[in-house]
Every structure is written in structure tokens, then in C-alpha cells.
Structure 1
Amino acid sequence: MTVQSIGDQARAFAMQAASSRIKTTLATLTAELSSGEVADLGARLGGNTRTLAGIEARLAMLAQFKNNAAEAAAHAKGMQDALSAIQGTSESLGRGLYIEPASTTGDLLAARSAEAASGLQAVIGQMNGSVAQRFLFSGTASDTPPLVSADDILSELTAVVSGLTTADDIVQSVSDWFDASSGAGGFVDVAYRGGTGGQVMPIGEGTTIALTTTALSPSIRDSLKGLATAALIDRGILATDPQQGRELLQAAGKALLDNSPALVAEQARVGYAQQVIATSQTEGEAATATLQTARNTLREADPFATSAAISEAETKLQTLYSVIGRLSQMKLADYI
């Protein structure tokens, strides 16, 4: 009769290995129960991880779209705030300049013109605003401020209208300078530093937003035109002819008031862009929630099955410890 036996040292190693396996299983099951996700995802999916990989890739894409949409929303809000401030400045100054009384003195004309110069400086400051280090009204050249300073513009216009003696001629000359095409030495060449196209941003699956409002937009250019026209008196233009100076201020005020609907339309365009961005954000959040639910379904561990497996592992470990305890108490006399 063949008797097979195992030595004490070998038995100790075998018991230690069994204990280690059970403890590892128990730790894995405990981690699954606390996290709610299976530890061996490949085994759970039978090696077919294509669906899960597709979900993860789409979630990453939606996360990028979310960031783009947040940036576009901040950009559009900055533009809307700037346009609102410009409209407020233009309407306030426009009314004051247009209804200036006929008995206006030279000193009052100069004061009103200085007010227009301050308004021009404020509007250019709004135009040169930025969000997240991107200038709002520079178009594709978003790393560059769109406009030179108000002082530079007025210095250029002062030289352009130098020698003109009537308000009509000055208004026409200023208008021609602002409306001149590229290469003609006007506003586009001297004062504008931005790009010609708008900023295009992908903000969702199949959704792209284009923020096309720049400092070259006609409504903004006409606001600058009216303010600059009124500010020329502060530079000494028509200083010796109060009557022509008053007509110049009234013409500038009327131009600012006439341009108000165009500014409102520009605000509406930006407002529509904000609506598209908000809709895209809502759709993106809904899609992300759906995909996260699908991903969790693939990765989640069954809490009831996991709890049962933990109980089974604990029972095995307790049984193993009982066996080890009984073996450690055996004596040679008991064996014989």
C-alpha cells in the first residue's frame, strides 16, 4: 500500500498560498462592492470591449465640446455686454448732441465735444476687451486688440479734415475715411488690427457657432464714426465758427441715433448665437448623461451577487483557519 504524505513545511506553504488567494479574492470583491464596478472588465465583457471603447471615446468628445461651448458662451456674453455698453453710450451722447440748443457757445461746444471724445475712448475700450486672453472683436486675429487708441484715430482724422470749413464737408470726409475699403488708407488700414473673418467654434455634435461681429461690423463702425465726428471740435476743428460747430455736433448726434437700430440688430445676432450655444450645452449634457448610464451598466457590479461572493469567501477563509488550527494541535501520538 502506497502512503503519500506532505511535510510540515510544505503544508505550511500550501496553507499560506490558499489563505493568500482567498484574501485576494475577498479584497477584490470588497473593492467591487464599494466602487460599484467590476474589477475584471475584460472578463465581464467577454473580451469584447468595442462598445465600451466607443462610449468612452464619445464621452471624451462631448467633454471637449462642453469646454468649447463654455468658452463660446463666455465670449458671446462678453460681446453682448460690450454692445450693450456701446449702445448706451451712443444713445446718451446722441440725444445730447442732437438737441443742443441753437444758442450754444463755443465753450459749451468744446465741452460737449470733449464728452464725445471720452465716449469714443470708452467705446474703443469696450471693443478692445478680451475673455480668456482672446479679444472679442478681432475676428480670426483674436490674439490682437482690434483697434488703435482713440487718440490715434482722432489725430488721423484731424489731419484728414484739416482745411475744411463746413460741417457738411467734415461729416462727409470722416464718413469716407471710415468707409474706405482696404488699401485706401482709411479706417481698415489705419485703425483696425484684427482679422476679417469671424471666430468659428465647434460646440456640439454637428453644431458650429460663428461669432462674426468685429470692430469692422457696419453698426460698430458707424458708432465710432459718430463719436469721432463730434470729438473733432475738441481737437480745434471749426473752433472759430460756433454755428458750423453746432451743426457738426447735431449731425454726429443724428448719426448716432440713426445707428441705434443697427446696434440692436447686432445684439440680436449675438443673442441668437447665445441661444444656439445654450441649446447645444443642454443637448450635450443630456447625451453625456445617457452615455454615462450606458457605461455604468456595462461596468457595474451586481451588489447582491458580490455580497454573496464575499460571504462565501469569508466562509472559506474561516474554514481554512479552522483546518490550520486543528492541524497545528495534532500530536505524534494522535497520528500513530
Structure 2
Amino acid sequence: MTRVSLGDASLANMLARQGAELRGQVQRATQEVTTGRHADLGKALRGDFSPLLAIDASIARLSAFGRVATDAGTQTAAQQAAMAGLSSLATGITPMLIGMRDFQTAAQTSTLGAQARGRLESAIGLLNTQAAGRAVFSGVETGTMPLGPADDMLAALETAVAGATTGGQVAAAVLDWFDDPSGFGAFYRGGSPLPAVAVAPGQMVGPGTTAMDPVLRKTLAGFAMAALLDRGVLPGMHEERARLAVVAGETLLAGEDGRIALAARIGIAEAQIEAARTRNAAETTALGILRSEIASVDQYEAATRLEAARTQLEALYLLTARVSRLSLTEFLR
């Protein structure tokens, strides 16, 4: 019987190829055991990446919704804080203004006028609130403060009430100025309300309150009426000045329900945004888990393959060592 054998060079090449293949298997199996993920995801998915691409697209879309929701949440939170500040300013001075029905001293009227002017400045500051570098009551003109200084507003109002001889006339002129497009409408520096934005799939929220809101204008009007007392309106007419203080207090009091309703409306938007953020986060987590499951490997199976590859590699090293000792000297020994 004729015995056929491979040449030394051919045998060496075959052993080298097998060694390289087994080392690659050990390396891939070790990586999979360590990371818990497929070393060759394309092979594991048989070249079909569509499930992963769909998941990644959904995660990216939810991330975009999340950024929009975060921005909208920041804006509504700042608006809500400003509303709380406005209500506090109004309730702090309203009883004193209305109390001028019974106490009509010139000194007290002047003192209330000074207090009202300070509160008007504070109210304007609240409406000029910025969040993340954007004015929250300026509508689409987020880079512009919606209102100018209180002194500029009072100067314009002094012109509007010129010629008025009673507290009622001054109050009516102030209210007309705040309703006039060429009055407060021209004083307002912002733009139209922000449009509703998508904060989650199929969910729109519009944090569109601006300083032009009727509730805010009425509140400012109440402060401004009383602040004009500090500018010397109706000089020498103590009773009319006191009457103007009373009307200012009544205006602020009448606007209380409107401020509560506006704060509630902003609060509803806040709740919707927070619910959307929670929903987006839950969906992102679920998609992340699904993606991980698709890309993950059975570590027990990977460990089994690793052990098998190591055993084969050790056997190959042993065989190679023995083959490498086959020489004429060894044969004759």
C-alpha cells in the first residue's frame, strides 16, 4: 500500500492557517464574553441591519423631542415663577391702595406712590425674565426684552393723562393707553406668541404667553396708576390723588382672578411638558433595552466556544511542536 504525505512546507502552511483561524476565534469569543456583545454584528444579523436602524432612528427622534420639551419646560417654569412674583407684588400693596378711601393724607398717598413705583419696576423686571438666555415673555423675539424701563413707561403715561383733572380720568386714560396699539402696543418690544411645539409624538404644547397678554397689561396698569402718584400727577388735589390710589388698588384686585387663570394655564402646559418628558424617557429606555438585546450575545454559548477554541489551539500548538522536531537527526536518533 502506497503512503501519501504532505511536504514539510505544505504542512507548515496548513498549520499556520489553522493557528491563525483558531486565534481569531479565541479573540472573538473572548471579546464577546467580556463585552456581552457580538464581535461581528453584521454576521449575527445576517446582514440585515434594518431593525437596528429603525431603533436608532426612533431614539434620535425621541432625543429631539426631549430637547424641545426641555426648552419648553424651562420657558414655562420661568413664566410660572414670574407670575408668582407678580401676584405677590399685587397682593402686597392692594389693601393699602384700597384703604385710601378712609385715609386720604397727602403724605400717605405720596408714600404709596413711591411703593407702587418700586413694584412697577419689579413687575417689569419679572416680565423681562430670561431663561437660558432667552426672554420668556417676548414671544418669537426671544433675544429682545419685551419691556423698556419703568421711567419710560411713566413718561409716556404722563403724556397720555395730560389734562385729566380727576382720579377717575387719570385711571381711564391709563387703561386706554395699555389697550392702545400705539400706546403699550408700541412700548412692547417683543413679537407674536411662540407657536406650539411638538414635545412628544403627536403632542403639541404652546408656551405662547407674552407681555401683551391682557391679564399682564391690566396688572401693569394697576401698578402704573399708583406709580403716577410718585410722578406728581394731579398736583394739589389730595382727594383725587387718593381716589386714583383706590382705583389702582381695585384694578389690581380685579386682575387677581385673571392672574390665577393665567398661572393655571401655564401650569397645565408645564404638566403636559413634564408628562411628555417622562413618556419620552420611558420609550428611550425601552428602545435602548431592545437594541441591547439585539446586539447582545449568549455569554454561556460564547464561553463554550471560547473553551473549545482554546482546546483546539492548544492541541494545534502541541502538534506543531511535534512536527517541528521531525528532522533526519531526530529520525536517526
TM range (shorter): over 0.9
**SS in structure 2 of the partner of residue 100 of structure 1:** helix
**SS in structure 2 of the partner of residue 211 of structure 1:** coil
List aligned pairs for 1:314-325, cutoff 5 A: 314-325=310-321
**Counterpart in 1 of 2:194?**
198
Q: Distance in 2 between matches of 1:4 and 1:319?
A: 20
List aligned pairs for 1:10-49, cutoff 5 A: 15-49=15-49
**Counterpart in 1 of 2:155?**
155
Mark the runs of 5 or more structure 2 residues left unpaired by the alignment.
none
Spell out, residue by residue over 1:208-252, the C-alpha distance to the aligned partner (whole angstroms, 9 max, x if none): 110121101111110000001100011111231111111101100
Are the equivalent residues in 2 in contact too, given 1:219–1:259 (CA < 8 A)? yes
**Counterpart in 2 of 1:330?**
326
Are the equivalent residues in 1 in contact too, given 2:100–2:243 (CA < 8 A)? no
Q: Distance in 2 between matches of 1:215 and 1:177?
A: 15
Q: Distance in 2 between matches of 1:193 and 1:267?
A: 23
Tell whether 2:118 aligns with 1:118.
yes
**Counterpart in 2 of 1:92?**
92
**Counterpart in 2 of 1:300?**
296
Q: Distance in 1 between matches of 2:148 and 2:14?
A: 83
**SS in structure 1 of the partner of residue 199 of structure 2:** strand
**SS in structure 1 of the partner of residue 104 of structure 2:** coil
Instruction: Please tell me the residue identity of whatever aligns with 2:287.
Output: L
Question: Alpha-carbon deviation of 1:267?
Answer: 0.4
TM-score, length-normalised on structure 1?
Answer: 0.92
**Counterpart in 1 of 2:59?**
59
Q: Distance in 1 between matches of 2:13 and 2:124?
A: 82
List aligned pairs for 1:185-224, cutoff 5 A: 185-189=182-186, 191-224=187-220
Which range moved further: 96-105 or 171-180?
96-105
Cα distance change, pair 6–240 in 1 and its aligned pair in 2 (3 A)? farther
Q: Distance in 2 between matches of 1:303 and 1:201?
A: 45
Are the equivalent residues in 2 in contact too, given 1:93–1:253 (CA < 8 A)? yes
Among residues 264, 267, 271, which one is paired with 2:267 in the alignment? 271
Are the equivalent residues in 2 in contact too, given 1:138–1:145 (CA < 8 A)? yes
Spell out, residue by residue over 1:275-295, the C-alpha distance to the aligned partner (whole angstroms, 9 max, x if none): 111221222122222222222
Among residues 299, 306, 313, which one is paired with 1:310 in the alignment? 306
Instruction: Please tell me the residue identity of whatever aligns with 1:132.
Output: A
TM-score, length-normalised on structure 2?
Answer: 0.93
Instruction: Please tell me the residue identity of whatever aligns with 2:319.
Output: V
**Counterpart in 1 of 2:68?**
68
Q: Distance in 1 between matches of 2:110 and 2:104?
A: 10
Q: Distance in 2 between matches of 1:15 and 1:126?
A: 81
List aligned pairs for 1:172-187, cutoff 5 A: 172-180=172-180, 182=181, 185-187=182-184
Q: Percent identity?
A: 30
Question: Alpha-carbon deviation of 1:163?
Answer: 2.6
Q: Distance in 2 between matches of 1:239 and 1:316?
A: 106
Q: Distance in 1 between matches of 2:315 and 2:204?
A: 64
Q: Distance in 2 between matches of 1:20 and 1:147?
A: 75
Q: Distance in 2 between matches of 1:229 and 1:17?
A: 94
Q: Distance in 1 between matches of 2:144 and 2:17?
A: 68
Q: Distance in 2 between matches of 1:311 and 1:222?
A: 80
CA RMSD of aligned residues (A): 1.9
Question: Alpha-carbon deviation of 1:329?
Answer: 3.4
**SS in structure 2 of the partner of residue 208 of structure 1:** strand
Q: Distance in 2 between matches of 1:83 and 1:240?
A: 36
Are the equivalent residues in 2 in contact too, given 1:59–1:288 (CA < 8 A)? yes
**SS in structure 2 of the partner of residue 202 of structure 1:** strand
Q: Distance in 1 between matches of 2:131 and 2:7?
A: 77
Instruction: Please tell me the residue identity of whatever aligns with 1:197.
Output: P
Q: Distance in 2 between matches of 1:250 and 1:234?
A: 15
Mark the runs of 5 or more structure 1 residues left unpaired by the alignment.
none
Are the equivalent residues in 2 in contact too, given 1:106–1:239 (CA < 8 A)? no
Question: Alpha-carbon deviation of 1:38?
Answer: 1.0
Tell whether 2:230 aligns with 1:242.
no
Question: Alpha-carbon deviation of 1:127?
Answer: 0.6
Which range moved further: 192-201 or 141-150?
192-201
Runs of 4+ in 1 over 4 A off after TM superposition: 1-5, 10-17
Q: Distance in 2 between matches of 1:36 and 1:143?
A: 49
**SS in structure 2 of the partner of residue 266 of structure 1:** helix
